[in-house]
Amino acid sequence: VLLRASGAGNKLRVTTYGIENFADERSLLAALALRVVALDPDVLTGWNVVDFDLARLVERAEAHGMGFDVGRSSDGAKILPGGRGRTATAIIPGRQVIDAMRVARSGPERYEDYTLETVARSVLGRGKGTALKGAAKLAELDRMYRDDTDAFAAYAAEDASLVLELLAETGLFALTIARAALVGIGLDRAWTSVAAFERAYGEALYAQGAVPPPFEAGRDVSGAAGGTVLPAAAGYREGVVVLDFKSLYPSVMRTFCIDPMANERARRSGARLSDDIVAPNGARFAREPDGVRWPLPGLVDTYFARREDAMARKDSTGSYVYKILMNSFYGVLGTSSCRYARTELAGAITSFGRLVLLRAKDCIERADSTVLYGDTDSLFVATGLGPDAPYAAYRERGDALCALVNAELAAMVEQEYGLISRLELRFDKAYARFIIPPLRMSEDDDAGGVDGEPTAARGRAKGYAGLLRAPDGDRIDVKGMEAVRSDWTPLAREFQVRLLTLAFAGASESELGAYLTSVLVALKSGELDARLVYTRSLRRSESAYVKSTPPHVKAARLAGLVGRGNISYIIGNDGPAPVDPDRYGASGSGQPRPDYAHYLDKQLLPIARSLAASGLPVPLGGFGLSRSQGELF
């Protein structure tokens, strides 16, 4: 099937194509190679194009004793296997290869999974034209190939079109070009953090008369502990502001001179110099010579300045590229595939980050405000302002706290380290009403927690919800809870958002109870069957599940799904059953029938109990429980 995109600009949908038949596979491969050469593209792209499409084409060409000659020289295409923490690479002389799936994984948006079908439906509102999965999908494609050539060609044309449209619609093609140009690497490596860092840092080394060290295979680089997470205080609060450090880890590198060469010079100095900069994890860094910045702090200084300039010019692409480049440096320094990485380097960054976060917390609490939660670079602060305070009041209070923290951190950095602080805490957002759900506990757990703290008083890390107050109005904001988790059903997600919306709007317990009762009645009558479909991803082949068989794996086996992929299913009276998510319950009760008791007990009740235990007036009588039993979380 030979394809050519028609139209211009972002109108990349494939609408015209030709079909040619060949006597054998060898003739087909030769004709395809000639067609690519005739079209002479600068870039080849596709979804998983390196690990699947190109890999199979090269493999089959070699099986016929021929090269897959689609480049601009006499050398055939090659696939370099992954290794040393690197992904596989396609080498096509004179052309660049962009794997659209890899680019989507690296981009700013998150998706439930990264199949072309899922991402295309999310971005473009359509998929590849079939909702079938697993063995049923493969059988249908085999049928079309054998019996309906036109339908098969249309399917293939849409597959190619979706990739082109996605790259244009999301702006990921422009982002890829911008990142490659800024760092100075090929398009195929533009989103590989190690390659980008080694190129940029290597140039900074050359500028100071140094050369990159050779890569040492077999080094033990274990990375470092993740960002600091402060214990969360569960419950309902009013007047909460979120304060956020501007690019904390890059700012730590700039402030405390975190640098591979500085670390190496301190290590090689033999005697531990008294003026070395010593990180909380014990890593040592030589001080910068007068008037000279070490390569990494200098590089981050440059990127900071360029990002500020891009933001001033409203260049969102450039701003985003510099942001993700800087934020990737911490991870690279703890990755064994990077020649500059050392365990103590990544550990120095996170240990300084913890020091900064704890100092900021202490400063805020001395100012008569309460820190409810902290995560890596953010602090959630109860201000004492009521839920009716205007946005400007929250902003003023948040800015005042930030000014106190920034001044104290600047003094700490100068007095304790003899350095200049580049750390900046900023106001991020405000919540008029706010909850952190408590940790779940079983009915058999005792009431005691860590250090005598009741378990119910400890909140979930990385999970909260609130009525976000902004200059342009209020809206519900949910992070890390069931409403934004793809492993919960659409009904459960909608149920949680609606309860939060009502409660934050001041609904009474009876009003919340009326809504809850209406949902339970509709559930048991079959009106909500279409909202009961689970969609889960298999991260590995279903055959790899030996010790236990989760419901989605059972459904995948029933559907004949082979390998990784998505599976949609309901829980029926006989257990998991695969279904078509677009058709199940769309025109009445779903078949097979759902086990409504399962959805009541495993989807709706946990959400209601959690919100009740958080302090919201959610009654549990409809589930046969009292409100006090909500405290079992």
Q: What is the pLDDT of residues 389-420, one digit of tens each?
A: 999 999 999 999 999 999 999 999 999 999 99
Residue 12: predicted pLDDT: 54
Residue 83: predicted pLDDT: 65
**Total residues belonging to the chain:** 633
Question: Which residue positions in the chain have pLDDT lower than 50?
Answer: 1-11, 441-456, 630-633
Q: What is the largest CA-CA distance in the chain?
A: 81
Euclidean distance between CA atoms 71 and 608, whole angstroms: 60
Backbone angles phi, psi at 592, to 5 degrees: -70, 160
Residue 7: predicted pLDDT: 36
CB 320 within 8 A of CB 292: no
The four Cα atoms 514, 518, 519, 523 give a dihedral, to 10 degrees, of: 150
Quote the CATH superfamily of domain 229-436: B family DNA polymerase, palm domain (3.90.1600.10)
CB 12 within 8 A of CB 168: yes
Quote the CATH superfamily of domain 2-173: Ribonuclease H-like superfamily/Ribonuclease H (3.30.420.10)
Euclidean distance between CA atoms 352 and 227, whole angstroms: 10
Residue 107: predicted pLDDT: 82
Q: Which residues pair with 89 in a beta bridge?
A: 80
DSSP reduced 3-state for 432? strand
Per-residue model confidence as pLDDT tens digits over 556-595? 888 887 777 788 999 999 999 999 888 898 888 888 999 9
Residue 622: predicted pLDDT: 81
* Fold exhibited by the domain 487-632: Topoisomerase I; Chain A, domain 4 (1.10.132)
What is the domain partition of the chain in residue ranges?
Answer: 2-173, 229-436, 487-632
| pTM for this entry | 0.83
| Amino acid at the residue 387 | P
For 201, the enclosing helix (H) or strand (E) is: helix 193-207
Give yes or no on whether 2-173 and 229-436 have one common fold: no
Euclidean distance between CA atoms 129 and 180, whole angstroms: 34
CA distances for 194 relative to 86, 108, 312, 334, angstroms: 9, 19, 29, 10
